[in-house]
């Protein structure tokens, strides 16, 4: 019996095909479970730094660059210093209406800072003025990030330590907008439905043509 | 050498055992893991299977029969076509199974492109199986139309390319 005759044997082909399909599904599901456990174990080994959000990272980066300071836990205390913030001209390009709105909310809050630029490390806390700048900058960064993601640019997250977590999880391999990817599936379903409807219509037309010819 | 159906079945079962170590080492965190390689094997099977049939069909239209099959008899042509068709069926079945296997092993990375690819592959495979074994004229005609749609092939190629490009990064 050669391979051509084996293919002609409908029952045998279908049996082999079904067995292979179901065994593949079963075995793969079993291995997918064990794989999940491996990934979970590896995720637990990730450094704590990777768990910060992009906005937190940018706030941290802003103070490192502009204030030469490291964010500290507010509960640890500190002496308020009013002269540590940037001048009005420095923060002007970054201010917007969001600052005014968030300023009202965060008037009574203060964030403690630890300066590492001078010869003696000093601990200070943020004033209302600095806090308003921080809230404005964070709002701008949050909006900028949303826009860049919408445009398919990933410049911010490329330099972000948190992006390694996203890449590791494998859930964000595509730089395209998820809404656009959703469209791909809908186009596929629409195209396949059109093919089926078109083919069915052609069969119907042919049958009708033959029926008319038979009657005539 | 004469093979019986049971010997073919044994060969298939032995070949299936080859995938056991592949499953054990699948998705082990390396960039070139076995699960990814299975996907490439699936693409290779699909390319070989479909290019063979398409090029033969194109050649049948363009090149004279005497050049293509030698003697020019219709029987010779039919047997050549039958061999290529069987090659197309077997390799596409293997490619589909490998693709299925690859998809289940890397189920975590499922996205809309992969899902669309699964839909197109399943439609092509099901229509192919029905086309092979359907007995009714209308069913056969309908399934032949579905299976041989140009847009289905274009979609398959586009989705495979998109899938490779998006997963490459």
Q: What's the confidence (pLDDT) of residue A44? A: 53
Pair (A101, A200) in one structural domain:
no
Collapsing DSSP to helix, strand or coil, A127 comes out as coil
pLDDT band at A166 (very low <50, low <70, confident <90, very high): very low
Q: Are the beta carbons of B149 and A195 separated by less than 8 Å?
A: yes
User: Pick from B86, B104, B159: which is nearest to A7 by CB?
Assistant: B86
More confident call, A29 vs A166: A29
Q: What's the confidence (pLDDT) of residue B96? A: 93
Closest CA to B119 of A196, A172, A29, A17: A196
Pair (A73, A163) in one structural domain:
yes
Q: What's the confidence (pLDDT) of residue B65? A: 62
In the predicted model, is pLDDT for residue B121 greater than 90? yes
Residue A201 lies in a domain: yes
Pair (A193, A160) in one structural domain:
no
Which H or E element spans position A71? strand A69-71
Which H or E element spans position A124? strand A122-125
Q: How far apart are CA A32 and CA B109, in angstroms?
A: 12
Q: Beta strand pairing status for A112-115 and A122-125?
A: antiparallel
Pair (A112, A192) in one structural domain:
no
Mean pLDDT of chain B: 80
Most confident of A9-13, A23-27, A36-40, B143-147: B143-147
pLDDT band at B33 (very low <50, low <70, confident <90, very high): confident
Interface size between A and B, measured as CB pairs under 8 A: 122
What is the per-residue pLDDT across B4-28, written as a single tens digit (0 to 9) for each? 666 666 666 666 665 555 555 555 5
Tell how many helices (H) and how many strands (E) occur in chain A: 9, 4
Pair (A107, A185) in one structural domain:
no
Instruction: Determine what percent of chain A falls in helix, strand and coil, rounding each to the nearest 5.
Output: 70, 5, 25
The residue segments making up the domain with residue A201 are: 176-216
Q: Calculate mean pLDDT across residues A180-200.
A: 87
Range in A51-55, A188-192, B60-64, B108-112 with the lowest mean pLDDT: A51-55
Pair (A127, A156) in one structural domain:
yes
User: Pick from A169, A173, A184: which is nearest to B116 by CB?
Assistant: A184
Pair (A105, A181) in one structural domain:
no
Q: What's the confidence (pLDDT) of residue B24? A: 57
- The backbone region for B40, taken as left when phi is positive above 0, alpha when psi lies in -120 to 50, beta otherwise, is alpha
Residue A198 lies in a domain: yes
Pair (A141, A119) in one structural domain:
yes
Collapsing DSSP to helix, strand or coil, A131 comes out as helix
Question: CA of A4, closest CA in chain B: separation in Å?
Answer: 7
Residue A110 lies in a domain: yes
User: Pick from A12, A191, A198: which is nearest to B155 by CB?
Assistant: A191
How many domains does the structure of chain A reveal? Answer: 2
What is the per-residue pLDDT across A133-160, written as a single tens digit (0 to 9) for each? 444 444 444 444 444 444 444 434 434 4
Residue A27 lies in a domain: no
What is the per-residue pLDDT across B75-114, written as a single tens digit (0 to 9) for each? 677 778 888 898 899 989 999 999 998 988 888 888 888 9
Pair (A56, A158) in one structural domain:
yes
Residue A7 lies in a domain: no
For the four alpha carbons of B65, B70, B73 and B74, in that order, the dihedral sign comes to negative
Its ipTM equals: 0.74
Pair (A75, A165) in one structural domain:
yes
Residue A116 lies in a domain: yes
Pair (A201, A126) in one structural domain:
no
Q: Beta strand pairing status for A122-125 and A79-80?
A: parallel
Residue A189 lies in a domain: yes
Pair (A136, A70) in one structural domain:
yes
Residue A16 lies in a domain: no
């Amino acid at each position: 019996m050669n391979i051509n005759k084996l293919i002609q044997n409908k029952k045998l082909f279908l049996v082999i095909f079904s067995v292979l399909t179901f065994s593949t599904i079963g075995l793969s599901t079993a291995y997918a479970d064990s794989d999940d456990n491996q990934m979970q174990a590896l995720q637990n080994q990730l450094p704590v730094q990777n768990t910060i959000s992009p906005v937190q990272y940018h706030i941290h980066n802003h103070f490192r660059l502009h204030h030469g300071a490291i964010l500290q836990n507010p509960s640890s205390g500190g002496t308020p210093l009013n002269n540590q913030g940037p001048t009005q001209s420095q923060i002007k390009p970054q201010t917007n209406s969001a600052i005014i709105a968030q300023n009202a909310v965060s008037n009574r809050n203060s964030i403690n800072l630890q300066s590492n630029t001078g010869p003696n490390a000093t601990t200070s806390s943020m004033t209302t003025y600095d806090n308003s700048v921080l809230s404005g900058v964070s709002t701008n960064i949050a909006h900028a990030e949303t826009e860049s993601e919408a445009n398919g640019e990933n410049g911010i997250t490329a330099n972000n330590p948190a992006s390694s977590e996203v890449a590791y999880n494998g859930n964000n391999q595509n730089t395209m907008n998820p809404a656009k990817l959703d469209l791909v599936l809908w186009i596929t379903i629409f195209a396949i439905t059109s093919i089926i409807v078109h083919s069915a219509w052609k069969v119907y037309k042919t049958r009708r043509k033959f029926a008319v010819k038979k009657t005539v | 050498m004469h093979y019986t159906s049971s010997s073919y079945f044994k060969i298939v079962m032995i070949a299936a055992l080859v995938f056991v170590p592949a499953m054990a080492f699948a998705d082990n965190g390396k960039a070139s893991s076995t699960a990814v390689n299975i996907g490439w094997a699936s693409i290779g099977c699909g390319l070989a299977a479909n290019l063979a049939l398409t090029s033969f069909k194109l050649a049948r239209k363009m090149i004279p029969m005497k050049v293509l099959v030698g003697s020019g008899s219709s029987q010779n042509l039919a047997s050549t076509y039958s061999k290529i068709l069987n090659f197309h069926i077997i390799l596409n079945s293997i490619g589909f199974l490998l693709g299925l296997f690859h998809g289940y092993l890397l189920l975590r990375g499922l996205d809309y492109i992969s899902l669309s690819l699964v839909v197109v592959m399943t439609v092509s495979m099901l229509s192919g199986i029905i086309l092979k074994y359907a007995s009714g004229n209308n069913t056969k005609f309908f399934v032949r139309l579905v299976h041989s749609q140009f847009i289905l092939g274009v979609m398959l190629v586009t989705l495979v390319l998109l899938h490779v490009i998006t997963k490459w990064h």
